[in-house]
Chain A
Amino acid sequence: MALLEVKSLEVSFGLRSGAVKALRNISFTLERGERLGLVGESGAGKSVLGFSILNLISKPGRISGGEIWFDGKNLADLSAKELRDVRGNRISMIFQDPMMTLNPVLTIGQQMIECLKAHRKISNDAARTIAIQKLKQVYIPSPETRIDQYPHELSGGMRQRIVIAIGLLMDPDIIIADEPTTALDVTIQAEIMELMVELCDRNNVALILITHDLGVVSQVTQKAIVMYAGRIIEQGPTKEIINDAQHPYTQGLMNALPQMAIPGQRLNQIRGAMPPLQNIPTGCAFNPRCDYVMDECTKQLPGYTVSGNCQVACHMVANLKKAEQTSDEV
């Protein structure tokens, strides 16, 4: 049984103008120690998905359908107290901007110790010892003095290390990291990412990495999910997706990577922009931007087609597969 299994999850936001579906029919699994990349443009629903796993979507959003199974339990069935035992303890989160994630009026120590005390019966001194130990693990110099400082006394990179230390504090099963390096200087981005991978490997922690950077996904993760307008359009082993993307959108993302460009030529862009969630076109949401758009793309939502070890939501891929099968038969 998978550690985490999301089954046809649906999240909607009740606005005055009517409900808007931010996530539709999301299904995937995550194994213990596995690293999963969640890719997509901003607004595709990556972060909402991350938050909905802990049932932390801010109002007026709510989970309106589907199930999230974690370690054999449906998270929807848990009481508020049981859910709190999961949050920060078995599944923890790392946020995007370390400048905003730490409470400015509490010391690093307070913010670490409170987390330990929320989940374990433990004395202040013992909690402090663990906190210092975790700070050492994320290579904070002189953690004994840093622990009594306030966030504003530390640099951005240092703060993100502390956020990671808080994420690892309870030795969780899963860490959900929402663009953990985007807000940092380019020079320390790689450093922080390496640190996260190292720590997840060492403690056998599963990682859900939310990012818009396909490059990072290819280096760090074993499995990748590509999202577009609230839906998964392609998922499978990272290697297959990177080397042989099936969906025209994923192909477009790959071609837009600077590494893919031929020197002296313009970067390849995907034309247009992702539609707002209130205004998703019928059929395949990507059809107005797709170079291979066909008649049925504008009419019918594509189902998932299996291609190799990947699942792809695209009519063209489905047609090609069908053609392959019939040619095999002949």
Chain B
Amino acid sequence: MIAFFIKRLAQAVLVMFVISLISFSIQDNLGDPLREMVGQSVSEAERQALRDELGLNDPFLVQYGRFVKNALQGDLGTSYFFKEPALDVILGKLPATLELVFGASLIIIGLSVPLGVYSAINPQSLFSKAVMGISIVGISVPVFLTAIGLIYFFSIELGLMPSYGRGDTVEILGLETSLLTADGWSHLVLPAVSLASIMLPLFIRLIRAEMMEVLQSEYVKFAWAKGLMTRRIYFLHALKNTMLPVITVGGVQIGTMVAYTILTETVFQWPGMGFLFLEAVNRVDTPLIVAYLIVVGAIFVITNTIVDLIYGLVNPTVKLAGKK
């Protein structure tokens, strides 16, 4: 277990190092901090003096060292637009994005496993064929089009759901959440459905394909020959093996999910990190862009560690513990 964590930690440090390098070079090349701090009227000599004072003329490594030191203390600079610490601005929007991801994951996990398993067990049934047909259409519709379509039907034509924003929130344990209000849920449904729309068919197809392969395996045949209950064969012997590759792919897809939150949040004007990031790009708000990258990098590292941990727990051939 300890060995596993040390290995993970080393990887995490490496990934964060790469992200910090990228972020720093963005900060270094994008926009002149002086432009934001002082007006046009300041003379060139004064500018140079200010640059020296701020350390902007120091060698690259010194500047990078200072950046990392500040970053480790949670100081990623001040947003030009909000005039607040960039990290605080980003973290303030994190709960909204997490809610969206949570809602979408709920839909994906809740539907993909039963549908994938069912269509693997009964590949010839009409329902399975319908599921497969719909899922290939689902893969072919970009997230933003699904989102637009949902808004058009449910908000504009039917007027059933709000078309943008997050809805009422309540504060619990110092965090704002809309998951505890009916209004919040009604705002969450459409964005969560659109975020789930592209991953869900992918997972249904993956689970179905893996399950069908596992059902052909010798150990499943042996389980039948042992006279076990049908339920036990499908949901223990077959499903546990099916989930191994699915967990791996799930880990890879987390990155895609975060990217798609940017699209979904843009269409629904969902006040999360992705929407904020795109605004920051348009405003060339460098500290905010950098803070976003670092927060997203941290999310990657954490979720990938959790996925690896789950994989290790499910798959006995992977040794988490050092015991022999």
A residues with CB within 8 A of B: 54, 56, 58, 84-89, 92-93, 95-97, 100-107, 114-115, 118-119, 150, 152, 163, 166
Contacts and interface: CB of A to CB of B under 8 A. Distances in A.
A56, A93, A104, A163 interface centre (most CB from chain B within 10 Å):
A104
B225 A54 contact: yes
Contacts of B216: 58
Interface in B209-246: 216-219, 221-229, 232, 236-237, 240-241, 244
Contacts of B229: 84, 118
21 contacts: A54-B225, A56-B225, A58-B216, A88-B226, A92-B226, A93-B225, A95-B218, A95-B225, A97-B218, A100-B217, A101-B218, A102-B222, A103-B240, A103-B241, A104-B317, A105-B241, A114-B228, A114-B232, A150-B316, A152-B316, A152-B317
A106 B226 contact: no
A115 B317 contact: no
A93 B237 CA distance: 18
Contacts of B317: 104, 150, 152
Nearest to B217: A100
A85 B228 CA distance: 9
Contact of A104 (B224, B226, B228, B316): B316
Contacts of B226: 87-88, 92, 114-115, 118, 166
B237 A106 contact: yes
Describe B's contact surface by its main secondary structure.
helix
B244 to A, nearest CB: 8
B253 interface: no
Interface string B238-277: 0011001000000000000000000000000000000000
A91 B241 CA distance: 27
B125 interface: no
Contacts of A105: 240-241, 244, 314-316
The 8 closest A-B pairs by CB, nearest first: A88-B227, A87-B227, A88-B226, A100-B218, A150-B316, A93-B225, A103-B219, A84-B227
B129 to A, nearest CB: 16
B228 A115 contact: yes
B219 to A, nearest CB: 4
Given A92-B226, A96-B218, 7 more contacts: A87-B226, A88-B225, A97-B218, A101-B218, A101-B222, A105-B244, A119-B227
A155 to B, nearest CB: 15
A134 to B, nearest CB: 14
A92 B316 contact: no
Given A104-B241, A104-B316, A105-B315, A58 B227 contact: no
Contacts of B314: 105
Given A95-B222, A104-B317, A86 B237 contact: no
Contacts of A97: 218
Contacts of B316: 104-105, 107, 150, 152
Interface string B282-324: 0000000000000000000000000000000011110000000
A150 B240 CA distance: 14
Contacts of B236: 106
Contact of A92 (B219, B225, B241): B225
A91 to B, nearest CB: 9
Nearest to B238: A103
Contacts of A102: 219, 222
Contacts of A163: 222
A162 to B, nearest CB: 11
A107 B236 CA distance: 12
Contacts of B240: 103, 105-106
Contacts of B241: 103-105
Contacts of B223: 103
Contacts of A89: 227
B237 A87 contact: no
Nearest to A114: B228
A85 B222 contact: no
A228 B68 CA distance: 76
A104, A105, A119 interface centre (most CB from chain B within 10 Å):
A105
Contact of B227 (A85, A100, A106): A85
Nearest to B225: A93
A103 B237 contact: yes
Nearest to A116: B226
Nearest to B226: A88
A115 B227 contact: yes
A93 B227 contact: no
A160 to B, nearest CB: 12
A203 B236 CA distance: 32
A88 B219 contact: no
A85 B226 CA distance: 9
Nearest to A92: B225
Contacts of A56: 221, 224-225
Interface in B100-122: none
Interface in B129-178: none
Nearest to A107: B316
B47 to A, nearest CB: 65
Nearest to B229: A118
